[in-house]
Amino acid sequence: MEMEMRAREDIEMGQDVTPPLSPLSFALDDSLLLSHCSACFTPLPPHPHPPPLHPAILYCSPRCSNYDSALHFSSAEPHLLRLLRSRPSAYPHSGGTSDLRLALRFLQSHPSTCRPPPSGRIAGLLTNREKLAARLPPENPEADEIFAIIRDGARAMAAARRTRDGLDGEILTEDARLELEEEAALCLVLTNAVEVQDKSGRTLGVALYGRSFSWINHSCSPNACYRVSLLSEIETLPFSSEESPLRIVPYCAHDKETRLIESGFCSGNVLKTESQSRMCYGPRIIVRSIKRIKKGEEVTVAYTDVLRPKARRQSELWSRYCFICFCKRCGALPPSYVDHALEEISVVNAHSSCANNGFDKDTATEMLTEYIDDAIGDYLSVGDSQSCCEKLSHILTQGLLDEQLEFNEGTSPPTYWLHPLNHLSLNAYTTLASAYKTRANNLVALFSEPHGNLCEAFEMSRTGAAYSLLLAGATNHLFQFEPSLIASVANFWVNAGESLLDFARSSIWSEVCPVASLSSVAKYKCLKCSVTEKVIQICIRRHRKRETDPLHGQVQYSDFANVSNQLLNCVIDYTEKVWFFLIRGCHHLKVFKDPLAFSWFATTGYSDIWASHILSNGINVSSSSGTKENAFEYEAQEFGNSGRICLLQLGLHCLLYGSYLGSICFGEHSHLTCHIQNILKH
């Protein structure tokens, strides 16, 4: 019996679909057991003494300890931690303990579920056990890994529970049938649990929610998203005596809709207990609409990153949840424009300007992915930002030569080119924006006399800002065709705004280009968009008063197209005034006449466009990009104070546009909007 959730009434864009829902169970991430409170997930003060050498459960206050410690001990968590620490070889594939501890806590909190019922559900939640633990193709390495995690994890859980009860945990090493309860609970966690993240996006733990959330199905073009708030964040919000209503109702795919809507089950009475008081412990989740949802329409969220191409999405959904998505986007024939662009590759050789027919696209994608992952690894794993930038710039400007492919005598090996909107290109832009910023900061910090390195630091900083803007523009172009990308696009616009503001306010400017104070920009009013000043004042006012302003809702959501167009038109106008300056010294960026417009890129013609750009400008792509110091100072002085003000205004509008989109997705008190409010306050 397949369940889904449907809208009880018409729901407009940017509205809460559920009240804050309390978790059935939650568990802190393994890596934070010694640094964060296991009850509220907040950081602990520094230890006066070295922490214990083995995992322990720590709390920030007697209140948290009183709430959580009893469940910790009764669920057999201490025995599980000791078992996996003392005998890791006995359970080599059990994975981290977060999911296992969450499953133990769930079992202890729901003692009536001694054995999973025939329906395959526990407390109404799908275990998916038959697919996860029984029907796994042996030729799928990812499936084998999940099977091993479930097998060893269930054994470790069962052994810990038996040890808690004073029994011999070793009895369960062979008889898998005795581990049915633990196996079902672990499968339930793997199927339904969601990550809890802090403001920076770091994973703090995992949480399991009831039917009001877990019955919401996946779509690659969802009409809703969700956010998770910690207890410490909830307690700082303005109190409201009227909590948001539950605006969705369950629907059985094998039943009649009319019967469901008229039944008491559908009225929400069964689900009301899942929305508890604001003092309840644990991270709470809220579902929010990102599109207009009609009454009776199914409400969906994304279980995976929808900015990935179809093949990647389907692979992740199958390996983790054992289902194939048949949503409208995945079933489109031919593929949608967005999915086509996200995986588009061109291939050329010396004897053909374009030889796209007949090449192995999967092999080309695999080679390009391996190269880019290796380059990104240089930065994230080794910390070599310079090598990362060089490798990524190389593949973006010269493509990837397939020297392993056999080819006829007299012909050259093919070169694979990424489309500017390919998901690998987007990954490259993201990494380049961060890596160039890191290089700039390192150059300024490492030298006591920075003037000799100002040229390079200045160039690294502005190139990083340019890539941030390019990434925001590229994803915003895709967003026009696929509105469900709104959450990702909001983050990219915020990052672009921050990067541009940091560059415009950098102290490097004053060293080479003394200009008038930029304080006057705070009083500057944008003459083109009437919403800018309103949004700024509302954000600052809400930040100070911590209260909900009814005007904010009107500005945010009453006329999405009009507000978006006003902000974007200003972004376009300011971009035209500064883009030529941002891309100086970076050969790859010079091919983009406008980082916000991509329709001029033929679907398969990017390699030709880049080749023409090289020939017409006489660029030697193998030479290092750089700006000589005297040219650097001349550029900065020529750009002047008016140029910096344009940069500031561009950064401000990018930030506001990201805030606007982000508040639609996550509400006015989300991590993203609060972060932007802090920036605007200053």
- Which pair of tokens denotes residue 595? 């980082």
Q: Is 510 exposed, middle or buried (0-12, 13-18, 19+ CB in 10 A)?
A: exposed
**Dihedral through CA 94, CA 98, CA 102, CA 105, nearest 10?**
90
Contact 607, 346 (CB under 8 A): yes
Quote the Cα angle for 523-526-528, to 5°.
165
Q: How many CB atoms lie within 10 A of CB 596?
A: 18
Secondary element (H or E) of residue 203: strand 203-209
Q: Could you read off the pLDDT of 55-103 as tens digits, one per residue? A: 568 999 999 999 999 999 999 999 999 888 887 776 766 667 899 999 9
For residues 467-494, average pLDDT = 96
Residue 601 has pLDDT above 80, yes or no: no
Residue owning tokens 């980082």: 595
Residue 604 has pLDDT above 80, yes or no: no
For residues 430-447, average pLDDT = 88
- Which pair of tokens denotes residue 543? 């930040």
Of 292, 299, 304, 302, nearest to 219 by C-alpha is 302
- What pLDDT was estimated at residue 142? 57
- Which pair of tokens denotes residue 147? 């099977």
- What pLDDT was estimated at residue 503? 92
For residues 574-597, average pLDDT = 91
Q: Could you read off the pLDDT of 142-196 as tens digits, one per residue? A: 556 778 888 889 999 999 999 999 987 665 444 545 578 899 999 999 999 999 9
Contact 35, 43 (CB under 8 A): yes
Q: Which residues of 56-100 form beta strands (DSSP E)?
A: none
For residues 529-535, average pLDDT = 61
Contact 557, 12 (CB under 8 A): yes
If you write DSSP's letter for every residue of 616-637 in order, what string do you get?
HHT--TTSPP---HHHHHHHHH
Residue 265 has pLDDT above 50, yes or no: no
Name the most confidently modeled range: 250-259, 504-513, 569-578, 640-649: 569-578
Domain boundaries, the chain: 4-17+210-225+234-298, 23-192, 341-542+554-613+629-681
The lowest-confidence range among 35-44, 439-448, 634-643 is 634-643
For residues 430-444, average pLDDT = 92
pTM of the model: 0.87
Give dist(CA 417, CA 481) in Å, integer: 23
- What pLDDT was estimated at residue 138? 47
Give dist(CA 596, CA 474) in Å, integer: 7
Which residue would you say has higher pLDDT here, 530 or 135? 530
Residue 344 has pLDDT above 70, yes or no: yes
Q: Could you read off the pLDDT of 311-328 as tens digits, one per residue? A: 999 999 998 888 999 999
Residue 524 has pLDDT above 90, yes or no: no
Name the most confidently modeled range: 232-246, 401-415, 455-469, 510-524: 455-469
Average pLDDT taken over every residue of the chain: 80
- What pLDDT was estimated at residue 637? 66
Q: How many CB atoms lie within 10 A of CB 499?
A: 26
Give dist(CA 2, CA 9) in Å, integer: 22
Query: What count of Cα atoms within 13 Å lies in the side-chain half-sphere of residue 75?
Result: 24
